[in-house]
């Protein structure tokens, strides 16, 4: 273990396979895998990385990442231990490591509506804010009121949602890490909220391979038509390279059916892009992150 992390052995592991911490179940070892217990420990560990010139990446729930087969150099921070959540009136405040499905469940139990359109979206709150998670039923932007961020100098600040310039699967964070978020919701009957959540989940289960190993939607939807529809029309459903296959259920999902490598997925992504561009003169933009 590097002397950089002396005194923090409880929070730092070496050579953790990215396949074990991502929903794609793909990827070689992270040089350092760091799980701080709280914000202050995160600040101290982050500062040590900055001081020693160790590259830093932040992993949310691992649901939007394709990691290299050879692994990831530097430090991968996962905020999975930072899971505080509280309520004040109709506002919920939580730390970045809270799983998004758990936040949806807690809001429902408290009779607070506004997050149920996010049902079925995996990952953690920090990543969901950073990528402005959402779908056809709505997104996190409608309920988000502020995000707490950490910059490279160790400064923590609360940023109103309107200043994040939230766009399609994007928030303008200027390299800052989301460490918490606040949501303003509306009081409603928990039973009605549950009905909406179940309806959203039922529709997704019927149209998306939720049980498969995937990273969710691979491509952003172009303005003219959904990416999945374009890929389907290009005849690519079921297209396979190694253990990676374009889902028969939703063509914007690539599923690891066992033994898929990052190279398999990247090659399949390139093939899909070429075929869609040839057929429709449309370039598909990645929604997932590729960690080389």
Tens digits of pLDDT across the chain (292 residues): 678 999 999 999 999 999 999 999 999 999 999 999 999 999 999 999 999 999 999 998 899 999 999 999 999 999 999 999 999 999 999 999 999 999 999 999 999 999 999 998 989 999 999 989 888 888 899 999 999 999 989 999 999 999 888 887 778 888 899 999 999 999 999 999 999 999 999 999 899 998 899 999 999 999 889 999 999 999 999 999 999 999 999 999 999 999 999 999 999 999 999 999 999 999 999 999 999 8
Residues 89 and 160 in one domain: yes
**CATH number of the domain within which 24 lies:** 3.30.43.10
Judge whether 221 lies within some domain.
Answer: no
Residues 141, 170 share a domain: yes
End-to-end CA distance of the chain: 22
Q: What is the CATH classification number for the domain harbouring 164?
A: 3.30.465.10
* Beta strands per DSSP E along the chain: 12-17, 29-34, 56-59, 65-67, 72-78, 85-88, 91-95, 112-113, 134-135, 138-139, 144-150, 156-160, 177-184, 186-187, 240-241, 244-246, 254-256, 289-291
- Examine the domain organization and report whether 95 and 203 are in the same domain: yes
Is 122 within the bounds of a domain? Answer: yes
């Amino acid at each position: 273990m590097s002397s950089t992390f002396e005194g923090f052995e409880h929070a730092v592991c070496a050579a953790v396979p990215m396949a074990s911490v991502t929903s794609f179940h793909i990827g070689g070892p992270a040089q350092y895998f760091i799980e701080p217990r709280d914000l202050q420990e995160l600040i101290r560990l982050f500062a040590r990385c900055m001081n020693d010139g160790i590259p830093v990446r932040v992993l949310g729930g691992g649901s939007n990442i394709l990691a290299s087969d050879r692994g990831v150099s530097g430090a991968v921070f996962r905020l999975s231990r930072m899971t505080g959540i509280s309520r004040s009136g109709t506002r919920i405040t939580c730390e970045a490591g809270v799983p998004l499905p758990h936040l949806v469940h807690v809001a429902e139990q408290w009779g607070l509506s506004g997050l149920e359109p996010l049902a079925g979206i995996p990952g953690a709150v920090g990543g969901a804010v950073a990528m402005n998670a959402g779908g056809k039923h709505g997104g996190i932007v409608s309920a988000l009121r502020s995000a707490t961020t950490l910059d490279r100098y160790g400064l923590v600040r609360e940023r109103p949602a309107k200043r994040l310039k939230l766009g399609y699967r994007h928030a303008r964070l200027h390299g800052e890490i989301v460490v918490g978020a606040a949501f303003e919701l509306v009081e409603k009957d928990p039973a009605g909220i549950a009905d909406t959540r179940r309806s959203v989940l039922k529709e997704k289960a019927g149209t998306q391979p939720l049980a498969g190993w995937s990273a969710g939607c691979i491509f952003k939807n172009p303005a003219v038509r959904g990416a999945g529809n374009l890929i389907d029309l290009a005849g690519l459903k079921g297209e396979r390279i190694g253990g990676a296959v374009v889902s028969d259920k939703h063509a914007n999902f690539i599923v690891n059916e066992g033994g898929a490598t990052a190279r398999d997925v990247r090659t399949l992504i390139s093939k899909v892009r070429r075929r869609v561009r040839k057929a429709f003169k449309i370039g598909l933009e990645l929604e997932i992150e590729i960690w080389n």
